[in-house]
Structure 1
Amino acid sequence: MKLIDTRDAVGQVLCHDITQIIPGVSKGPVFRKGHIVQPEDIPVLLRCGKEHLYVWEKDESMLHENEAAEILRDLCRNDHMTASEPKEGKIELSADCDGLFLADAQRIRAVNALGRMMIATRSSGFAVKKGDKLCGTRIIPLVIEKTAMEEARKAAGPEPLLQLRPFRARRFGVVTTGSEVQKGLIQDAFTPVLEQKLAEYGCTMAAHATPGDDSDAITAAIRQMADAGVELILCTGGMSVDPDDRTPLAIRQSGASIVGYGAPVLPGAMFMLGYLEDGRPVCGLPGCVMYAKRTIFDLVLPRLLADVPVTADWLAGLGVGGLCLNCPECHFPNCSFGKGL
């Protein structure tokens, strides 16, 4: 690539797009990379403010911005992702399906720290829809040394930097605790909320039980659902520290291996999660899940439906960003809730 006076560019091949900006009207390329400059193009180029142009001069040690962006694309792309064509040296990846988007922050940081190149992604750990944009890649200069891109490959490592884990619709069961519901003194307002929330992921309720407050009865309801093949069991109510709140004990008695009781998230501090012997999740949902717009359950549910293990360490890491600000108009997930360091 070499720099020449625009007036001397007739017959030369552009090695980058030429962008024209008309304020309030348009912004876009007036000439594309690879265009052979014609005499009538010179006045247009000068009106775009291009007194000089970079034209292609082959150098085997260098890569053009589009070629470098393709390398960054390949470092990022995994299954269920579609790449755009290079445009002004940038390539974007989009989701091929609904799923949980995950980005390896440490390795992406290592690539970006090399300088002169960038990978920018959406927030990791949140649900995406088919067609959603996942990331963009490009180098900063117009050309870059091949050796620099080899350094990027080393920093990224052998595995793709991004994952899109498709959701798998589940048959779920709800164990509604509380003697007041069992006796019909109040209407169960919790279950309809869960049905609506899980329907967004294509899940259907396969079982419902109202065992009251007895821990053995709650445990029996959990085990009955498990024996019937229910894939996700949700226990509602009885999750605080009141003497008659027995749900945590019942979940432990079910044989579930407990990941954690309590999470650094508000709303949702009294959340509980365990896994049965075969890996099926059992959740204890505090009352806030019924009435609050977004809670701990909205952060955990996508992982459960994408078969991504929820660990005690991951739950502990939710503290920074784990405070919902209860905005008058909820914009989740386009907000700070659930987005840690």
Structure 2
Amino acid sequence: MLKKIKAEHAVGSRLAHDITEIRPGEFKGPAFQKGHEVCQEDICRLQKLGKNHLYLIDLEDDEIHENEAAAILAGGLAGEGIRWEDHPREGKIGLHAAIDGLLTVDLAALAAFNMVDEVMCATLHSHTLVHKGQLVAATRAIPLVMKRAPVERAAAIAAGNGGAVSVKPLKKVSAGLVITGSEVYRGLIQDRFAPTLSAKIIALGSAVTGTTFVPDDEEMIVHAIRKHLNHGCDLLLISGGMSVDPDDVTRKAIRMAGAEEVHYGAAALPGAMFLVAYIGNIPLLGVPACGLHHRVTVLDLVLPRILGGERIGKKELAFMGHGGLCQDCPECTHPHCPFGKG
């Protein structure tokens, strides 16, 4: 319950909330913080900030202050790999990455949370690579005083599956490369796939433990795949042979090698002919030729998610369609761009 009083009558009272000051282009923040005891010298500044009246709070048993509400909300939202501090600023609490890793947002839980009246949470896009300490989400109760029940209901919704916002560490894997193509195998052209794929894997903290070059021959591709698997690789990237040309035999060879789960085609450009397969629990990623001609492709969307422990299937590849159209910007700013951020 709020009691409204004139500012000049508030001397000796303690502020019930932060009072924000905005100086365009210079400053936005609390001019006075919650709990500040108003003195005579404050009256003029308060009035310049447009605060001719202040509010005193007398909470009912079923009411809650915005700062306490924010803490309850943050506690429900925060999942694995998230840290937050119970020091609200202007009623808001930020959620930060506790580790380097891949941000994962439970989109359904976040939407259900935000459907509760008078609460909100905003996040970065799910599947964004983040660094330890980075702000990844923020939450607040919108009014200064609200009923406790909706706050607790929203927090329970967010916490339902272990928190709506989490950061997963990237696994450090041993990756094998199989570079297909008769022209590369015979030395007619110089390979550029191996260094390109190796750089992407190393940038994510993993290592390439072997590279094999094979012609467009089914049996030789199968042998190369099995060799890497027998040597204990955790991830296999196979380049070339992913189009619809009759001599592109890589997809058939992947099945012959024992892949029972094969998903060919991704709703993203560049990278529509991308392939994800599994032999047991080992993921095989088939990288089409666009991986040589574009700095960023669907591989850059899938690889971090694989290393974050996610199993990529038809549904995940289909959902990439929203936001999956690269704009081929003259100066690429990935990952700080909309690509793959649907």
Q: Same fold (TM over 0.5)?
A: yes
1:131-184 per-position Cα deviation (integer Å, ceiling 9, x unaligned): 222111011111111122133245435221122111012111110111111111
Query: Which of 323, 328, 331 is matched with 1:329 structurally?
Result: 331
Distance 1:28 1:163 in 2: 28
Does the 8 Å contact 1:89/1:139 carry over to 2? Answer: yes
Aligned twin of 2:295: 293
Alignment of 1:121-132 (within 5 A): 121-132=123-134
> How many Å apart are 1:92 and its aligned residue?
0.7
Compute the displacement of 1:317 (Å). 1.6
- What does 1:1-341 align with in structure 2 at a 5 Å threshold? 1-84=2-85, 85-156=87-158, 158-159=160-161, 160-277=163-280, 279-340=281-342
Match of 1:141, SS state, is coil
Contact 1:173 1:207 in 2 (8 A): yes
Question: Deviation of residue 83 (structure 1)?
Answer: 1.1
Give the Cα separation in 2 of the matches to 1:90 and 1:140: 9
Q: Deviation of residue 238 (structure 1)?
A: 1.1
SS at 1:137 equivalent? strand
Whether the 8 Å contact between 2:75 and 2:155 is mirrored in structure 1 is no
Cα distance between partner residues in 1 of 2:305 and 2:24: 44
User: Partner of 2:179: helix, strand, or coil?
Assistant: strand
Q: For residues 206 and 107 of structure 1, what CA distance do their matches in structure 2 show? A: 39
Given residue 118 of structure 2, which amino acid in structure 1 is its aligned partner? R
Contact 1:268 1:297 in 2 (8 A): yes
SS at match of 2:149: helix
Q: Offset at 1:207?
A: 0.5
| Contact persistence 2:72–2:152 (CA under 8 A) | no
Amino acid at match of 1:275: Y
Cα distance between partner residues in 2 of 1:7 and 1:61: 31
Please tell me the residue identity of whatever aligns with 1:281.
P
Equivalent-residue separation in structure 2 for 1:258 and 1:188 (angstroms): 29
What do residues 86-138 of structure 1 show as CA deviations (whole Å, max 9, x unaligned)? Answer: 10000011112221211111121112112211011111122222222211101
> How far did 1:57 drift?
2.2
Distance 1:113 1:268, change over 3 A: same
Equivalent pair of 1:266/1:322 in contact (CA under 8 Å): yes
The one-character-per-residue Cα deviations of 1:9-65 (angstroms, maximum 9, x if unpaired) are 111111101122233332221211011112222222112211011223243221111
**2:176 counterpart letter in structure 1:** G
Gaps of 5+ in 2: none
Write the distance in 1 (CA, Å) between the matches of 2:42 and 2:301.
54
Contact 1:175/1:233, CA 8 A, preserved across alignment: yes
Larger deviation: 237-246 or 330-339?
330-339
**Cα pair 2:77 2:159 within 8 Å, conserved:** no
Moved more, 229-238 or 330-339: 330-339
DSSP 3-state at the match of 2:285: strand
CA RMSD in angstroms, aligned pairs only? 1.5
The normalised TM-score by structure 2 is 0.95
For the Cα contact (< 8 Å) 2:267–2:320, is it kept in 1?
Answer: yes
CA drift at 1:232 = 0.9
Q: CA 1:162/1:259 → structure 2, altered by over 3 Å: closer, same or farther?
A: farther
- Quick one: distance in 2 between partners of 1:60 and 1:282? 58
Q: Is the 8 A contact 1:126 1:299 kept in 2?
A: no
- Contact kept? 1:175, 1:222, Cα under 8 Å: yes
Paired residues of 1:13 and 1:56 also in contact (CA < 8 A):
no
One-letter amino acid matched to 1:337 = F
SS in 1 for 2:190: coil
* In 2, Cα distance between equivalents of 1:127 and 1:171: 20
Cα distance in 2 for residues equivalent to 1:218 and 1:156: 47
